[in-house]
Structure 1
Amino acid sequence: MVLRKFGHLANKQEVQEIILRRGQLTASVLTYGAAIRSLTFEGREIALGFDSIEDYLRYAPDLGAILSTEEDPDQSPTKMQSWNNWPDLHLWTLEEAAADRVRLSLSVPIGAADKGERAELICQYILMPNNTLRIELEGHSDKEAYFNPRFHGVFNLSPTQKLETHCVSIPASGYSSPVSGKAAWLQIADVEGTRYDLRNAHRMASDAGRPLDVTYYMRLNRLTVPELSAVVQEDTTGTKMEVWSTEPGLVYREGLSIRPGSHCRAPNQPARQGFSIEPQGWPRTKEKHEFSNVILKPGEVYKQRTEFRFS
């Protein structure tokens, strides 16, 4: 494990970088956003990040970070302040670190700040045997609050950076379908016969094509042991990435463009293309499914485990 300074925020708080290694995986984690800045497999960069804190603030503050998922305010009970929108909440506390793991914590206010009620989130990154990155999230709250964290990592497994060399399959039968005049997550539709059916391998598209951006419904309930949620295969290297998660939902996006200046790219080169696979809870819906409740109550403990397995 290597611990070093990465830079400072506008309020002079220091951002630290923790470098983890195990097997053929190396991960660089920031205390800013609990973000994965860099992930390499067999010596190749497979996750997108920036070389400076200034680039994060300028281009994509949420890149590789642990985010909270927003909800329609008309449906929501007391909400946490979203840590991805508040720069002074971006800096996580480094609790402990070892050669192959790091544990970070964050405390955010709920509702009126003067009442002192808070939600707490623990994030642990662990490099496991067999080239696996495990992400463990645990949370609790002083007051009932919307609680649906997710990891916003952006990947590209190709050394040429071409997104079209990737195929993805997602074993989901349902997705969020827009309802006229309403938020896109208010109706659950069958993927059968739609462009969102990825149960068979789908060739990714860049931003010049028709890239997908969709929320999938994987299963009814949050699990205690992860199940397979997605598989990505890259043609030129043969690299495979499997995503296993306890979460019942999943956000999939492709054709994401990270501006020049991103990690391992000179400023005068084109922006890198990437994709994200982000397990999460089911959003609350007008249909009021019991299993779509992502409200954390006092005394309850939220737990998520997601694994990215590379071969």
Structure 2
Amino acid sequence: MRSDSTSEKGQIETGQVSAFGRTPKGEQVRLVRISNGGSSASIMTWGASLQDFHRVECDYSLVLGSPDFDAYLGPMLYFGAIVGPVANRVANGQFLLDGHLVELDRNENGKTTLHGGSSGTGQRNWTLLACNATSCTLGVTHGDGVGGFPGNVDVRAHYALDETGRLTLDIDACTDKTTPLNFAHHSYWNLDGQADISRHHMQISASKYLPVDAELIPADVPARVQGTVFDYRLAKPISSPDHMALDHNFCIDGADGQVRHLCTVQARQFSLDVHSTEPGLQVFDATGMDTTPFKGHQGHPYGPHAGLALEPQKWPDSPNREAFPSSLVQPGETYHQRTQFRVTPLAQKA
């Protein structure tokens, strides 16, 4: 196991780091600013969150967020965060591991476990381990039994902007007990700076998706998108007359652990391409979002459909589904996820 005691001396450029707030426990939350290739990003130690993301071609943030840290303790919970140790939902807040029933924190309606429970990595203040002008590394240890999950899990997140402005996020983790690990980045994207994403078009590299029940727990078997409103194999408006609320996992075609294209979203002057090693993409269209009384980056609260969450991950409820891509990690193994976000001006892409 690695240690969070890594010395920060000599590894952090203090000009890139500022104070942003304090947690309910009184810990200082820090904000790191990195830039390269026409992109700039602010990463917050709370949840290792992408707090904002800008391109030189526009004056608004392309991800939802707030200049007020307290917003992230309320209605902006999970905005930009790395959620885990198991992202998404675990049905009934439990799963079998080596023949033993593991009981989890049922933090969603008292029934399901969402994003690792109420003490998951998205609700922790990570340690800033290193940063420079174009990248930063953060770490956190998720303790054995926290939220019910077995194992001391040591997590590292590395954000980096390359010379094209592409943002790469590498998440690595190791454990001292067999445990499921399935982290996900949870930014809400809005490419045109408008009040909602009604003008956005989306294409997803998936011929199958997971239908869900009333509690958003997925079916056992993926369904084909062909002939359904979930067919985004060709780009189409996210919102349409036959639109259904999106909070579904899309099963990426040919997923094999290599970085591959997951989706493309376009609006106004920008195109966002997401690539990842992960076999699933959870898409959530922010139905019911309301951040009142907290204001977002543009000075007003966010309402329904204000942004689009694109969350590369293993398939939801994988600890209970033998047929799904496995999320189990053994001691001595290393969990690794690489996800890349590239925002390109449409004129340049053409």
Q: Is the pair's TM-score, using the shorter chain for normalization, greater than 0.5?
A: yes
Quote the residue 1:175 is aligned against. 209
CA shift, 1:212, in A, is 1.9
- State the match for 1:191 in structure 2: 225
Q: Does 1:252 align with 2:266?
A: no
Verify: 1:212 aligned to 2:228, yes or no. no
Superposition deviation, residue 302 in structure 1: 0.7
Q: How many residues align?
A: 306
CA distance 1:159–1:80, shift in 2 (3 Å):
same
CA, structure 1 residues 112+204, in 2 after alignment: closer, same or farther (shift >3 Å)? Answer: closer
Q: Distance in 1 between matches of 2:312 and 2:165?
A: 19
Aligned residues of 1:187 and 1:287 also touching (Cα < 8 A): no
Cα contact 2:104–2:117 (8 A) shared by 1:
no
- Alpha-carbon deviations, 1:85-127, whole Å to 9, x = none? 22896110111001010100110123279xx940111101101
Partner residue, 2:62: 46
**Is there any run of 5+ residues in structure 1 with no aligned partner, and where?**
none
Partner residue in 2 for 1:229: 262
Q: What's the CA shift for 1:165?
A: 1.4
Query: Is contact 2:285-2:305 (8 Å) kept?
Result: no
TM-score normalised to the size of structure 2?
0.79
Give the 3-state SS of the residue equivalent to 2:130 in structure 1. strand
* Cα distance in 2, alignment partners of residues 249 and 302 from structure 1: 16
Which whole-Å CA distance do the structure 2 matches of 1:246 and 1:220 have between them?
A: 11
Q: The residue matched to 1:94 in structure 2 has which SS?
A: strand
Identify, as 1 or 2, the structure richer in strand: 1
Distance (whole Å) between structure 2 residues aligned to residue 219 and residue 140 of structure 1? 28
* Corresponding position: 1:294 with 2:327: yes
Aligned to 1:154: 188
CA distance in structure 1 between the partners assigned to 2:62 and 2:325 by the alignment: 32
Q: What pairs up with 1:106-185 in 2 under 5 angstroms?
A: 106-111=140-145, 117-178=151-212, 183-185=217-219
State how far apart, in whole Å, the 2-side matches of 1:125 and 1:146 are: 23
Superposition CA RMSD, Å: 3.0
- CA deviations 1:114-147 (Å, max 9, x no partner) are xx94011110110112120101000111101111
- Displacement of 1:266 in angstroms is 2.7
Assess if the C-alpha contact under 8 Å between 2:36 and 2:164 holds in 1.
Answer: no
Give the 3-state SS of the residue equivalent to 1:56 in structure 2.
helix
Q: Which stretch has the larger CA shift, 128-137 or 266-275? A: 266-275
- Report the counterpart of residue 57 of structure 1 in structure 2: 73
Q: In the TM superposition, what whole-angstrom CA distance separates every residue of 1:54-94 from its partner, at most 9, and x where no partner exists?
A: 11112122111000214234434358876562289611011
Q: Is 1:176–1:185's contact at 8 Å kept on the other side of the alignment?
A: yes
- Counterpart of 1:66? 82
Preserved CA contact (<8 Å) 1:231 1:241: yes
Does 2:298 match 1:265? Answer: yes
- Alpha-carbon deviation of 1:265? 3.1
Evaluate the alpha carbon distance shift between residue 226 and residue 265 of structure 1 in structure 2; reply closer, same or farther with a 3 A threshold: same
1:242 to 273, 288, 291: 273
Give the secondary structure class of the aligned counterpart of 1:51: coil
Deviation at 1:159, TM superposition (A): 2.8
Deviation at 1:193, TM superposition (A): 1.1
Partners of 2:135 and 2:104 in 1: CA distance:
27
Q: Please list, as runs of the form range in 1=range in 2, the aligned pairs for 1:274-293 lying within 5 A after superposition.
A: 274-283=307-316, 284=318, 288-289=322-323, 292-293=325-326
2:264 and 2:274 in contact (8 A); partners too? yes
Query: AA paired with 2:282?
Result: V
Secondary structure at the aligned position of 2:198 is classed as: helix
Task: Give the corresponding residue for 2:340.
Answer: 307
SS at match of 1:50: coil
Conserved? CA contact 2:319–2:327, under 8 Å: no
Secondary structure at the aligned position of 2:74 is classed as helix
Taking structure 1 as the reference length, the TM-score comes to 0.88
**Is the Cα–Cα contact under 8 Å of residues 154 and 276 in structure 1 kept in the other structure?**
yes
Corresponding residue of 2:47: 33
